[in-house]
Structure 1
Amino acid sequence: MYVVAEKDIAGLMTPEAAFTAIEAVFAAMARRKAYNFPVIREAIGHADALYGFKGGFDGQGLALGLKAGGYWPHNQDHGLINHQSTVFLFDPDTGRVSAAVGGNLLTALRTAAASAVSIKYLAPKGAKVLGMIGAGHQSAFQMRAAAKVHAFEKVIGWNPHPEMLGRLKDTAAEIGLPFEAVELERLGAEADVIISITSSFGPLLMDAHVKGPTHIAAMGTDTQGKQELDPALVARARVFTDEIAQSVSIGETQHAIAQGLIAREAIGELGAVVNGDSPGRGDAEVTLFDGTGVGLQDLAVAAAVVEIARRKGIAQHVEI
């Protein structure tokens, strides 16, 4: 078994490599060559923690395994980030464990790569302004990944806690783009591409805010009850997602579905756009990617980083 430690991931996995892995797994999912296993997520009754498993099998990339981990809200007391996870890979031919990989940074990279894939395929032609809703830890990864796939000229941003907007300003400066803090009404009117990455349980971006051709990557809603967008905005958009079953149950579309504003059949798979089996944006004014996060994404980036670590002699080999 190979072990790739969390401390080594940053020196191995790039946004470009994560994008390639996630684009390929979206395509495999749409071709029914890869599928996710049912998600397990439980409140364990200790340390206010949520713990669970996401897994699957990619028959095209031959990645089999799971990500184990969750959310520990008091981890700052231990000098750790709240999200903690490890990815375990298994040999699909024998069932033997083949790798254990630190999953914290990989989770951030694969989440950002997923929205970047949606931007590559669904952003309106000539998009110049990137709008960021949310300034938490994940926002920097999202902005960097978006800038890798599209030539934006400016970033505008909003956060429920304005004192955190420095992260967006610093990240924009790092990638060579001007940044301006704006209100949500202006963000919706001016941004050609919008990434929302918050932990909100109520709508932030309203239907009336969004003007003109726009693509929205809604990346924060991954739990029942979470919500970032006005259901009327979801209903107006042409909607794509990573996995439809998750989208309607824990993703952004759960609220529009519950209100009868859209039907499950109206939701498309991003992988079908990648494969060329769906026209994607077409004549839609607003497109939406409902990024719920699936286990296959974790397996894809973990398998990629193990291969890189083996080539560089960094992966530790242990007998079990």
Structure 2
Amino acid sequence: MDGADSANASEQGVAIVSEAICEEIIGRPEAFTAVENVFAAMARDNAYNFPVVREAIGHADALYGFKSGFDRAGMVLGVKSGGYWPGNVDKNLTNHQSTVILFDPDTGQLKALVGGNYLTAVRTAAASAVSIAHLARKDAKVLGMVGAGHQSTFQLRAAVEQRDFEKVIAWNPHPEYLPRLAAVCEELGLPFEAVDREQLGAEADVIITITSAFEPLLMKDWIKPGTHIACMGTDTAGKQEVDPQLLAAASVFTDEVAQSVSIGEAQHAIASGLISDSDITSVGEVINGTHPGRRNEQEITLFDGTGVGLQDLAVASAAAELAQQKGLAKQISL
């Protein structure tokens, strides 16, 4: 880069992309493509997540941390800073709060600040949708939802686009939140039924768990052959949504093996000696065609969606690029 190019780079400033703009320009198709591409890049060793920092801050019962990485294939470098404030629901705020900071991989200069709350929800939903697209049976008809919190509606909307579901069934530890899922189903023209967990396991062809549980909510013996399960809530040491025996009985896939065994759903099965690291496959291998994915109609497949920083960077980069193309990003100079 010569002196003129360096000056031009400095004059470009920083793009600010608000939550509202993110919601306007990033929909489910854009999020799905970004997440699928970055999972594929990870499996080719073209994208790397850096170690996660996630700690209780000793105030407001909050968990706060950083997820970062570099996608060499997409030339995206950055960090997501944020966490989980459980008391926000009483303040009419989203419990998950975050901002994505993007840097120029060639210079290290600050490139963009992107609101991360909506993108966190849509990229998490995209991850489970990618797993359904590549691992669920083609004839799956019943979608089971375990959890009815803020992210559950994003999960539901993304999931129903992957298969021709005929019915949605759901369970939540706080049943008063189930109407939010029922409302989405009514809008989509899908029958909805609140059921107990055992019935959900017996009926559902695809199950999404999206809770903040620290104990198993689904037991192995409840799950019928051929089910695909996307465990999307476990992203911290100690969290748990399903019976460890279920992972031992399933073919396990994940976004990143290192996170799956340390802070993901697999941590408990690993600690119990029921499975090992080598029993877990990156879903990117399925996307790239280097792993067959589901081998037969009776196989139980399980996706351990731990939530990697590269997902956030991928959708934030897409948002920043689209916002600048559309003239919607605010540009500032530092």
1:195 paired to 2:202: no
Q: Structure 1 residue 163 and structure 2 residue 205: aligned?
A: no
Q: What is the CA deviation profile of residues 86-132 of structure 1, one whole-angstrom value per residue up to 9, with x for unaligned ones?
A: 00000001110110000000000000000000000000131111010
In the comparison of the two structures, how many residue pairs are matched? 320
Task: Tell me the alpha carbon deviations over residues 183-202 of structure 1, each in whole angstroms, 9 at most, x when there is no partner.
Answer: 11111111110001111111
* 47 and 162 in structure 1: CA distance in 2 versus 1, 3 angstrom threshold: closer
1:25 aligned to 38, 42, 47, which one? 38
Q: Does 1:118 align with 2:97?
A: no
What residue number does 2:160 align with?
Answer: 147
Q: What letter matches 1:129 in structure 2?
A: V
SS at match of 2:119: helix
Structure 2 counterpart of 1:69: 82
* Contact 1:189 1:212 (8 Å CA) reproduced: no
Paired AA for residue 308 in structure 1? L
Q: Which residue of 2 aligns with 1:85?
A: 98
* Cα separation, 2, equivalents of 1:150 and 1:110: 19
The one-letter code sitting in structure 1 at the alignment partner of 2:308 is: V
CA apart distance, 1:305: 0.7
Look up the SS of the partner of 2:120 in the other structure.
helix
Q: If the length of structure 1 is used for normalisation, what is the TM-score? A: 0.98
Asked if 1:39 is matched to 2:71, the reply is: no
Distance 1:307 1:149 in 2: 26
Q: Which of 272, 296, 310 pairs up with 1:296?
A: 310
Residue 234 of structure 1: how far off its partner (Å): 1.0
CA offset at residue 263 of structure 1? 1.1
Q: Deviations over 1:262-295 (max 9, x none)?
A: 1110000000000000000113610000000000
CA distance in 1, matches of 2:241, 2:262: 15
Q: Is 1:306 aligned with 2:324?
A: no
Match of 2:229 among 216, 229, 233: 216
Correspondent of 1:106 among 95, 119, 127: 119
What is the CA–CA distance in structure 1 between the aligned matches of 2:190 and 2:128, rounded to whole Å? 19
Choose 88-97 or 69-78, whichever is displaced more. Answer: 69-78
Question: Which deviates more from structure 2 when the two are superposed, residues 63-72 or residues 38-47?
Answer: 38-47
Bigger Cα Rg: 2
Measured in 1, the distance between the counterparts of 2:178 and 2:92 equals 23
Number of the residue aligned with 2:330: 316
- Under a length normalisation based on structure 2, what TM-score does the superposition of the two structures give? 0.94
Matches of 2:93 and 2:301, distance apart in 1: 36
- For residues 152 and 64 of structure 1, what CA distance do their matches in structure 2 show? 37
Partner in structure 1 of residue 7 of structure 2: none
Correspondence 1:248 to 2:261 = yes
Tell me the secondary structure at the aligned position of residue 273 of structure 1.
helix
Residues in 1 aligned to 2:154 and 2:99: alpha-carbon distance in whole angstroms:
19
| 1:147-184 CA-partner distances (Å, limit 9, x unpaired) | 12222111111111111110111111122211111111
Decide whether aligned partners of structure 1 residues 267 and 95 sit closer, same or farther in structure 2, where only a CA change above 3 A counts. same
Give the structure 1 partner of residue 65 of structure 2.
52
Please provide the CA RMSD for this pair: 1.1
Alpha-carbon distance between aligned partners in 2 of 1:266 and 1:119, rounded to the nearest angstrom: 19
Hey, what's the Cα distance between the residues in 2 that align with 1:200 and 1:48? 15
Q: What CA distance in whole angstroms lies between the structure 1 residues aligned with 2:186 and 2:53?
A: 39
Structure 1: any 5+ residue segments left out of the alignment?
A: none
For residues 75 and 111 of structure 1, the distance between their equivalents in structure 2, rounded to whole angstroms, comes to 20
**Hey, which bits of structure 1, 4+ residues long, moved more than 3 A?**
76-79
Report the more deviating stretch, 233-242 or 305-314. 305-314
Give 1:97's aligned residue: 110
Q: Corresponding residue for 2:251?
A: 238
Query: Is the contact between residue 94 and residue 150 of structure 2 (CA under 8 Å) also seen in structure 1?
Result: no
Per the TM alignment, residue 42 of structure 1 is displaced from its structure 2 partner at its CA by 2.1
Deviation at 1:73, TM superposition (A): 2.7
Letter in 2 for 1:117: V
Q: Residue 56 of structure 1 contacts residue 295 of structure 1 at CA under 8 Å; is this kept in 2?
A: yes
Following the alignment from structure 1 to structure 2, what is the Cα–Cα distance between the partners of residues 215 and 79? 34
Are the equivalent residues in 2 in contact too, given 1:250–1:292 (CA < 8 A)? yes
